[in-house]
């Protein structure tokens, strides 16, 4: 793991009652900002990250020295233009980039491990709400995020209906599907099967369940891409060899690509955080929070919504995104919707997909003009 | 693992040169038969099994005491009617139900482990061809199989173009896709990540990499079902509890279902066999065997083809099955094709899908009348 000592943090003193029943307080929330908050404080955008993201959405991540996860979309002159907007992005609680998570120390000075409370999307959002107080922002201009970030957008608007002028949930769902629970459970079982996981208390024993975590990442990575995208990018291309080697080394490029994805992931991510965050995703069911009527989640909001899905995203396919639109339309809320053509699968929202990037830019620009 | 001493076997004395270059001989091929071979010996059907199948396609598997894997389709009065037809099904080489595989002993009396040669679909088919000699069958009435079984059907016809009157490849492909290679690699990496795998030599050390194998099975199982099928069957139903438990036990039925699938699988399947058989699938590229022209694989055959795919099968989707039809049409071969409506995903060919079962029955009956 990388050192995360120098990460920017606020410490949230106010007690936060979690959905599991436990109350936490005086816990750290690591964050980063991009751009400048204007005097009227009306140009702030809160960006929510996905499962393996962090607060370093743009520029160079100072911990990993790699590009921020949303560098295509976010930065000076980009779709989320930090020359105009003040962007805040925080590491979710349960995460491993400085925010309160299972690798933190308990009162006895030992890493929590699996004694850390199981958290929910609701808990994540409630923790991040403190950022508005911290920056003395009365109302955000927008909340935006893809995948689990999109779920946080939906939960944020539901919890704080008048705290953002607009909301952009991307490639997400209001209710985690059976297939997605299954895929997350696969990742968890892979981690828990690792000899070094030690029921979650590996950190105090100076061990790392890196093999299990790598397999979990490989599994997830396959789901982020589309069948067609994989076929076009990799097909049956061989890995630096003329022919099959009749062994179990990586013969195909797709194999070495996946192995690489697994191996670099374990350097930057904590296995227990993977368990906790996937659990939060699986528990997410905004529709059930409102007894089966998703519209009620948005009943009190005045936010202008823009819902975005991608044609080749089979993890959070268009119909699940459209359900959000339907729920908003049913109560006459202001909602735009676009399904972007892309072969890049669920990962489309992280990649250079011009139609997507333009859609986000145009929506933000047009909406911002309206409030000026 | 179960005891497999009492399994029916032939020992193939004739040397078989494998694609990897090694030659094997005097090796066992475990098989089972159903029904009676008629006097003219024109009623024989060779059934090829899929990745985790075996020779016990119908009736009770005497080793596991469970129903044979194709009990819906195969048996007295069923689609593949054993009152009419004589059905042979053999365990593939590389397998673990009696045929020559990595759990067999080498000349020094130790289990081969990963010293077993990497085998291919071509090798599997060439080994099974010996069954025709053994039963003194000049020409089969049909070759049939789903998934990897379908690949064997294609390879069989390509290798032995006039040894079967008909051929029924189901839910398969002529060239394993990047996504499917990726999914198989995920399973292999999961097994290899198991502390007990010991580079494949676990058997001689009396260990079993059961956790890794269970995770591999879970991963595969998700891919055998459709998103819609999973949602309808499991959705977000909870497992014997009123509400979420805020822990990592199985809260959702889909989680306990997957864990169960993983746990029962390790009792009947060998981890190294899983590695070898998935490798054979990944290596399968009949199109490449004929320098990119799949039609040439079938140029010399007189077999009547019937290709079957399923609407919700995302592992071997209809377009990949249709490519086989296109290749056959391009050279004027006799081929029928049907895409069956089913929400049951890739597993449809193993389940009670009446349209599928009727299609197989009708094709076999009509075709058999023609040769009488």
From chain B, pick out residues whose CB is under 8 angstroms from the CB of A235. 178
Active site residue A343: no
DSSP, res B285: B
Options B54, B270, B313, B343, the catalytic residue: B313
CA proximity to B139, closest of B73, B75, B46: B46
Q: What is the largest CA-CA distance in chain B?
A: 66
How far apart are alpha carbons A351 and A67 in whole angstroms?
A: 12
* A104 assigned to active site: no
- Name the segment(s) of chain B with CATH classification 1.10.1740.110: 181-277
Q: How many CB atoms neighbour CB A366 within 10 A?
A: 13
Residue A242 or residue B13, greater confidence: B13
pLDDT (0 to 100) of residue B242 = 87
CATH 3.40.50.1820, applies to B9-178+285-371: yes
Q: What is the pLDDT of residues A52-98, one digit of tens each?
A: 999 999 999 988 899 999 999 999 999 999 999 999 999 999 999 99
Q: What are phi and psi of A104, to 5 degrees?
A: -70, 160
- Scanning A53-92 for CB atoms below 8 A from B yields none
The beta-strand segments (E) located in chain B are: 9-12, 16-17, 23-24, 27-34, 44-48, 74-75, 80-81, 86-90, 140-146, 164-170, 304-310, 335-340
Residues of B with CB below 8 A from A236's CB?
175-176, 178, 181, 285, 288
- Phi first, then psi: give them for residue A230, nearest 5 degrees: -60, -40
Which secondary structure element, helix H or strand E, spans residue A17, and what is its range? Answer: strand A16-17
pLDDT in tens, B48-81: 999 999 999 999 998 889 999 999 999 999 999 9
At A136, list the tokens.
């003395």
Other Cβ atoms less than 10 A from the Cβ of A6: the count is 9
Fold observed for domain A181-277: Rna Polymerase Sigma Factor; Chain: A (1.10.1740)
**Is residue B1 scored above 80 in pLDDT?**
no
CATH of domain A9-175+286-371: 3.40.50.1820
The 3-state secondary structure of B144-207 reads: EEECHHHHHHHHHHHHCCCCEEEEEEECCCCECCHHHHHHHHHHHHHHHCCCCCHHHCCCCCCC
From chain A, the residues in CB contact with B315 under 8 A are none
Adjacent-strand bridge partners of A238: A252
Domain with CATH 3.40.50.1820 in chain A: 9-175+286-371
What is the ipTM score, two decimals? Answer: 0.96
With beta carbons less than 8 A apart as the criterion, state whether A226 and A312 touch: yes
A194/chain B closest Cα distance in angstroms: 7
Contact at 8 Å (CB) between A58 and A68? yes
The dihedrals phi and psi of A355, each to the nearest 5 degrees, come to: -60, -35
Cβ contact, residue pair B192, A21, below 8 Å: no
pLDDT digits (tens, 9 = 90+) for B150-189: 999 999 999 999 999 999 999 999 999 999 999 999 999 9
Please name which of B223, B219, B207, B215 lies closest in space to residue B191, comparing C-alpha atoms.
Answer: B215
Q: Which segments of chain B belong to CATH 3.40.50.1820? A: 9-178+285-371
Average pLDDT taken over every residue of chain B: 97
CA angle in degrees (0–180, nearest 5) for A8-A268-B249:
105
> Closest by alpha carbon to B48, among B93, B17, B1?
B93
Sheet hosting strand B44-48, strand order edge to edge: B9-12, B27-34, B86-90, B44-48, B140-146, B164-170, B304-310, B335-340
Q: How confident is the model at residue B124 (pLDDT cuts 50, 70, 90)?
A: very high
Query: Which residues does residue B339 pair with via DSSP β-bridges, in sequence order?
Result: B309
| Residue of A260, A256, A316, A228 lying closest to A51 (CA atoms) | A316
């Amino acid at each position: 793991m990388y050192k995360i000592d120098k990460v920017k943090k606020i410490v949230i003193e106010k007690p936060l009652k979690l959905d599991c029943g436990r109350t936490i307080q005086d816990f750290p929330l690591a964050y980063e900002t991009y751009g400048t908050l204007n005097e009227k404080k009306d140009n702030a955008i809160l960006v929510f990250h996905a499962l393996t993201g962090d607060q370093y959405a743009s520029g160079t991540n100072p911990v990993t020295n790699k590009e921020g996860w949303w560098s295509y979309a976010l930065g000076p002159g980009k779709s989320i233009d930090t020359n105009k907007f003040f962007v805040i992005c925080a590491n979710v609680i349960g995460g491993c980039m400085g925010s309160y998570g299972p690798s933190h120390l308990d009162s006895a000075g030992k890493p929590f491990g699996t004694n850390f409370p199981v958290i929910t999307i609701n808990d994540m959002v409630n923790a991040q709400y403190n950022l508005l107080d911290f920056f003395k922002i009365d109302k955000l201009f927008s909340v935006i995020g893809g995948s689990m970030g999109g779920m946080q957008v939906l939960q944020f608007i539901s919890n704080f209906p008048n705290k953002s002028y607009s909301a952009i949930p991307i490639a997400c769902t209001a209710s985690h599907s059976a297939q997605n629970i299954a895929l997350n459970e696969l990742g968890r079982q892979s981690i828990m099967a690792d000899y070094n996981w030690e029921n979650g208390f590996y950190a105090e024993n100076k061990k790392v369940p890196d093999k299990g975590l790598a397999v979990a990442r490989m599994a997830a990575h396959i789901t982020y891409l589309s069948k067609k995208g994989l076929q076009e990018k990799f097909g049956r291309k061989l890995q630096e060899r003329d022919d099959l080697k009749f062994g179990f080394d990586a013969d195909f490029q797709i194999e070495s690509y996946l192995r690489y994805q697994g191996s670099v992931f374990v350097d930057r991510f904590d296995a227990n955080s993977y368990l906790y965050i996937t659990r939060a995703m699986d528990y997410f069911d905004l529709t059930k929070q409102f007894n089966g009527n998703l519209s009620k989640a948005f009943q009190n909001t005045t936010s202008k919504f823009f819902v975005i899905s991608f044609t080749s995203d089979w993890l959070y396919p268009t119909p699940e995104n459209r359900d959000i639109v339907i729920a908003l339309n049913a109560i006459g809320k202001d909602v735009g919707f676009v399904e972007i053509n892309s072969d890049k699968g669920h990962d489309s929202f992280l990649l250079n997909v011009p139609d997507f990037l333009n859609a986000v830019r145009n929506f933000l620009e047009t909406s911002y003009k309206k409030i000026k």
